[in-house]
Amino acid sequence: MPGEKSPEDVIQRSSSEFDTPSLEEHRKTQTVVSYNREDIGNADNVLSTILSPSGREVKVTGDVDDAMKLALESQRIVISPEEDARLVRKIDLYMFPLLCLLYAIQFMDKISNGSAAVMGLREDLKMHGDQYSWVGSAFYFGYLFFNMGPGQYIFQKSRWLAKTLAVFVIIWGTFLALHAAPSVTYPTFILLRVLLGCAESMVTPTFTIITSQYWKKEEQFMRVCLWFGFNGLGGIWANALAYGLYTRQQTYSMEAWRILFIVTGIITIVVGFAIFFHIPDDPSKAWFLSEREKFMVVERIRSNQQGFGNHHIKWYQVKEAFTDVRTWLYFIFSVGSNIPNGGLTNFMNILIKNDFGYSTSQSLLMTMPTGAVELVVCPLFGYLSVISAKRKVPFLQYRLSWAIISALISVLATCLLAFANSSPKTKLAGAYLLYVSPISFICVLSIISSNTLGFSKKWTVSSINLVSYAAANLAGPQTFIATQAPSYTGAKIAMLVCYAGTVVVLAILFVINYRENLKRDQIQAERGPDDIIIENLEFADLTDKENPNFRYAL
């Protein structure tokens, strides 16, 4: 009838025209929009629209996360705390041993270069001047290239995430073993390092995605601390293997450093096959979970406001990643954190031998405690952060606080390494303390996992972060200038400046996220209960800037 108002008009009229309804009365007027199986995958089918925290209208379509299929079947099952705890233990038991082993091996592969350097690699390949520095950088040329596009495209489009990773692991193990070929010359060795970097570059972003698929936001930091901390085991393992080979080198028919590459390559290939058959591509394909447990995984990660992934590249999400200030804070942080890492990975053995005054065999042994520090401290900091969060300890309840503490320890350690010239033991203590520094990088990885929503955006942000990681590690060995040997004072000063900069960046990131959460809480309070409720909105593959229900982890 003319002049008659529709229910929608009534809902949208100013509340001043009516008595304020009770919350229960308001809920009766709400429209519930549900997905069905026909909606899934249809990007043109707009179910509804919502307002983002910035006030922009966001279309909610059928181009959703892979977890939506299970979410439609789960019917919001009720999970007891005991069931939830059993499920987490089961996932940890089946997933973590192999993930941690692979991460140990990828670090073992990286530092095998430094071990080989003091075992005769440089002399046998007739390196001179800064040529060895370029050996360290060559790996990250490949890492950088592959993260700038090919890697993200291949892994996001693939529906077999773990199996694709396994193939790359087997390829990198093959390249590593080829380092020992008798025909290898310096140019060939550089090419192999580049190819190795390409093959190995997808480990960290894939692990970040896997972590977000199975564990809640508040659980992720501890898990990243665990698998990243196994870098330490890789360091101990590589140096112990190198020491054993070096002390028996007279009994072999080829150089000990060549055998080191062959053994580590074979171990990598074996683990690659284990990954292929053991690690599922996503929780819906997890062979060790029952149907109910798969539903439970979906229900428990609802609070993450993200699911398993989406295999369509959404270019607006890629654009949002490039325009998000957090992306560039991650970028700057990774540069500051990894320039020192790139130098130390390749030069720690050389520093201990030439600057601290130890023999070759002693330097291989004295490097082993660096791995022990990382192996113990990373999980310890993760555990302390969990306890602090549960008890709401001021400042320490936030994971970014532990990142700042780690960065401050790194500044202190660098000062000991750089300025304690009269005491080799003090410098050695500083070198060991530097292996607390990965905590801050771990924190940023877990923050990217928790705080970057939208699968295309997550891959893009992760790739940009790892581009800076690769570029910084590429530049790191170049700070060790041959004319400054054996003390390499310039490299130590560069490390100090970089670690100090990371403290500032982490503090800025904390403030931005904290203020944004307060802003979103205020906006939600002003808007009141939504007139439209979209069921399973958590799995609609919205970005963190689009989803009004999302709050940034600190």
Task: Please name the residues in contact with 446: beta carbons below 8 A apart, sequence gap of 6 or more.
Answer: 211, 220, 221, 223, 224, 399
Residue closest to 364 by CA, chosen among 347, 352, 346, 376: 352
* Kind of pairing between the strands at 532-534 and 31-33: parallel
Task: Please name the residues in contact with 456: beta carbons below 8 A apart, sequence gap of 6 or more.
Answer: 156, 310, 312, 313, 314, 315, 317, 318, 321
Q: What is the pLDDT of residue 323?
A: 94
Assess whether pLDDT exceeds 80 at residue 345: no
Phi (first) and psi of residue 394, to 5 degrees: -55, 135
Assess whether pLDDT exceeds 90 at residue 288: yes
Assess whether pLDDT exceeds 70 at residue 11: no
- CA 356, 358, 361 angle in degrees (round to 5)? 140
Over the stretch 155-196, which tens digit does the pLDDT of each residue have?
A: 777 888 899 999 999 998 999 999 988 888 899 989 999 999
Q: What is the pLDDT of residue 4?
A: 44
Alpha-carbon separation of residue 382 from 8, 336, 414 (angstroms): 50, 22, 23
Over the stretch 100-122, which tens digit does the pLDDT of each residue have?
A: 999 999 888 777 877 888 788 88
Q: Which superfamily does 81-523 belong to?
A: MFS general substrate transporter like domains (1.20.1250.20)
Portion of the chain with pLDDT greater than 90, in percent:
31
Q: What does the block give as tokens for 49?
A: 């629209």
Q: What is the pLDDT of residue 26?
A: 45
Residue closest to 356 by CA, chosen among 411, 425, 415: 425
Residue 202 and residue 290 in contact, taking contact as beta carbons nearer than 8 Å: no
Assess whether pLDDT exceeds 80 at residue 441: yes
> pLDDT class for 353, splitting at 50, 70, 90?
confident
For residue 395, the one-letter residue type is: F
Over the stretch 467-505, which tens digit does the pLDDT of each residue have?
A: 898 888 888 888 888 888 777 888 889 999 999 999 999
Q: Is the peptide bond before 486 cis (omega within 30 degrees of 0)?
A: yes
Residue whose structure tokens are 């308001």: 26
Q: What is the pLDDT of residue 21?
A: 47
Alpha-carbon separation of residue 349 from 103, 110, 353, 359, 368 (angstroms): 21, 13, 6, 10, 10
Mean pLDDT of 215-234: 88
Over the stretch 460-473, which tens digit does the pLDDT of each residue have?
A: 898 888 889 888 88
Over the stretch 29-52, which tens digit does the pLDDT of each residue have?
A: 566 777 777 667 676 677 778 888
> pLDDT class for 57, splitting at 50, 70, 90?
confident
Tell me the β-bridge partners of 217: none
Residue 455 and residue 308 in contact, taking contact as beta carbons nearer than 8 Å: no
This model's pTM is above 0.75: yes
Q: What is the pLDDT of residue 325?
A: 96
Mean pLDDT of 251-259: 87
Tell me the β-bridge partners of 472: none
Residue 245 and residue 260 in contact, taking contact as beta carbons nearer than 8 Å: yes
Q: What is the pLDDT of residue 262?
A: 92
Residue closest to 17 by CA, chosen among 1, 28, 5: 5
Over the stretch 13-33, which tens digit does the pLDDT of each residue have?
A: 333 443 444 445 544 556 677
Measure the CA–CA gap between 51 and 55, rounded to whole angstroms.
Answer: 5
Assess whether pLDDT exceeds 60 at residue 10: no
For residue 317, the one-letter residue type is: Q
* Kind of pairing between the strands at 46-51 and 57-61: antiparallel
Query: Which range, of 13-27, 216-230, 348-362, 405-419, averages the lowest pLDDT?
Result: 13-27
Kindly report the average pLDDT of the chain as a whole number: 84
